[in-house]
Chain A
Amino acid sequence: MLTMTNISKVYRSEMVQTHALRDFNLQVNEGEFIAVTGPSGSGKTTFLNIAGMLETYTSGTYQLDDVDVGRLSDNGRAELRNQKIGFIFQGFNLIPDLNLYENVEVPLRYRGIKAAERKRRIERCLEQVGLGARAKHLPAQLSGGQQQRVAIARALAGEPRFLLADEPTGNLDSLMARQVMELLENINKDGATIIMVTHDPELARRAERNIQVVDGQICDFKLYQGGLEKQRAGAEA
């Protein structure tokens, strides 16, 4: 589903050349829940940005659903991003001047979905994250956890095959973090592939697969117990 081969990303300034990713190789299969961990500055976010086509890479190849991302124009990447990928950001990134309904509506408008269908999806997704009754509220009127749930609803409304989450619980207390994590696990159970960047080893353990990035490369590749059990349970079913 997602294949990165020898991906490198170099940031160049006048004086310095920084290798954020080097020969990064990764294969992600449909329905996986992957946690990406690593120290600050290791290249996690760069990987997430490239996976989400938020930035381009310097060399290598990246295929998403058999589409060679490197060959796409800026518009092509925006379209593919809109159709296949849902984003959950650490800072929620809700638009403060829009109410919850309008926030969730943003990616749907860019896809050109008709008003009636937009309404159906927005109501369903807000219900799914438990905020159906607050559609007319502004983000500032919600707690951090609620805002992140709106962000998840926004990501889900586009019915993406991929969910990219950048420290989704980074700005939340432990109770809120647990709720958000449970929500992500449920979404994964419903079939979405999730790649989650996190610093929290507790959350990472709950994923099927954990990738550790150090100095722009995958240095460890572990299948955690929780993930194994999940796979076994799936096999037995």
Chain B
Amino acid sequence: MSELKPIFNALWRSKTGALLLVVQIAVTLAIVSNAAFIIHDRVTFLNQDTGLKDENLFRFNLYTFGKNVDIGQQQEVDETLLRAIPGVADAVVINQVPLSGSGDSTSFHLKPTPEQSRGARASFFMADEHLLNTLDVKLEDGRNFTAADVVYSEGFEKSASVVLVTRSHLLDLFPEGDGLGKTIYLGDNPFQVIGIIAPMKGPWLDDEQADNVALIPQVMAAPFKRVLVRTEPGRRDEVMQQVEKLLLASESERVVSRITGVDKLVLEQTSQDRLMKNMLLVLITVLLLVTALGICGLALFNVGRRTRQIGTRRALGAKKSDIVRYFLLENTLVSLFGIVLGVGLALAMSDVLMRHYSLPSLDNWFILYSLAGIYLMGLVAVYWPAQRATQISPSIATRSV
């Protein structure tokens, strides 16, 4: 440590450049640690397990305008047609599409309205007994729907009486974990929980209750329908190309639209997050590069300014390694002050982001990783100028002033 004292003294006596670098390192640390934390947050969000094999799923809209078409009957025909296409694993008419970024959620309660009781919000998907198979989600406990459970209706005049839920949703309603077989209420309609399905996401990835999902065996006959199809792996494109032609051949007074892979819907839903992640990555890279150049530049400037001094040190017995060590220690000192200041700035910045932009509080590990990274980057940046300094001959000490 005693070696640092004269280096510190020397820095202090010509401090302008060093102080600017301290500020630059501090600002870099503050921005990099917060940006890295946000990137990590976004990457975790983007890489979350949806519970669905979205690359095998696609959806489309079906709007029937023919006034003489029996919607309910045609729906059965359509489903039979779709399920018969080679490469299709299963298909259902569904009220909303998972991972699509748009849809509905509702609150289930332990007692019927208007009684006050514990409630939990969940996304709900309504389709026939093929729903679980179409989603390709495992049943963890209890039983699946049967055809007998499915209720066909024009609207909400009738209601199904059973429901499948994710464990996350059931635990919100029954924290003791004894919800299977119990009855829950949607408004005043009772639903018996007959099974627990493996975790899956609802329509929104960024929903606070994205893991709360309920599957209801009910099909509503309406001119506008959404259809979800699961294909065998690798056969989705081939199936997607056949759908429109096949359905219109069966009934022409309708429109098939938005035939889209569910993975594409996920990409659309997360485009802002990916953009933010990429922009922050660019920002961090540029910032680190500029800081590295700043460190390298100051060290090069110092080598130039101290040519005679370095020669004199060599003449007085400094080895090349001593010269490298001097510059590394000098950079360590500057980095140390920058880091101390930067930690304070990073925490302050996190506080502002938390209060004004509802971001989670900065994890201290990110400050630690960032400061370690910036310090190491500084050592790398200063190494080349330090190596150049070792090339200064000690004989320069005897050259004329």
Contacts and interface: CB of A to CB of B under 8 A. Distances in A.
A102 B6 contact: yes
Contacts of B320: 74-75, 78
A87 to B, nearest CB: 5
Interface stretch (A26-34, A91-99, A120-128): A91-99
Contacts of A45: 398
Contacts of A95: 10, 309, 312-313
Given A91-B401, A138-B13, A110 B316 contact: yes
A48 B395 CA distance: 9
Interface in B308-357: 308-309, 312-322
Contacts of B398: 45, 48-49, 52, 54, 89-90, 166
A105 interface: yes
Interface residues of B, number: 28
A54 B394 contact: yes
Contacts of B400: 90-91
B312 A89 contact: yes
Interface string A154-187: 1000100000001000010000000000000000
A89 B397 contact: yes
B176 interface: no
B115 interface: no
Contacts of B9: 97-99, 102
Contacts of B315: 52, 54, 81, 87, 93
B13 A54 contact: no
Given A48-B398, A97-B13, A99-B9, A78 B312 contact: no
Contacts of B16: none
Given A48-B398, A54-B395, A54-B398, A87 B316 contact: yes
A220 interface: no
A95 B319 CA distance: 17
B316 A82 contact: yes
A71 B393 CA distance: 18
Nearest to B396: A54
Given A54-B394, A89-B398, A97 B10 contact: yes
Nearest to B320: A74
A54 B318 contact: no
Contacts of A83: 317
Interface string A22-52: 0000000000000000000000010011001
Interface string B274-318: 000000000000000000000000000000000011001111111
The 10 lowest CB-CB distance pairs between A and B, nearest first, are: A82-B317, A97-B10, A110-B317, A54-B395, A107-B316, A91-B401, A93-B312, A55-B395, A54-B394, A102-B6
Given A97-B11, A158-B317, 13 more contacts: A49-B395, A54-B398, A75-B319, A75-B320, A81-B316, A89-B397, A89-B398, A90-B398, A90-B400, A93-B308, A98-B6, A106-B316, A110-B322
25 contacts: A52-B398, A54-B393, A54-B398, A74-B320, A75-B319, A78-B317, A79-B317, A81-B316, A81-B317, A82-B316, A89-B398, A91-B400, A91-B401, A93-B397, A97-B11, A97-B13, A97-B14, A98-B9, A98-B10, A102-B9, A107-B316, A110-B317, A110-B322, A111-B317, A171-B401
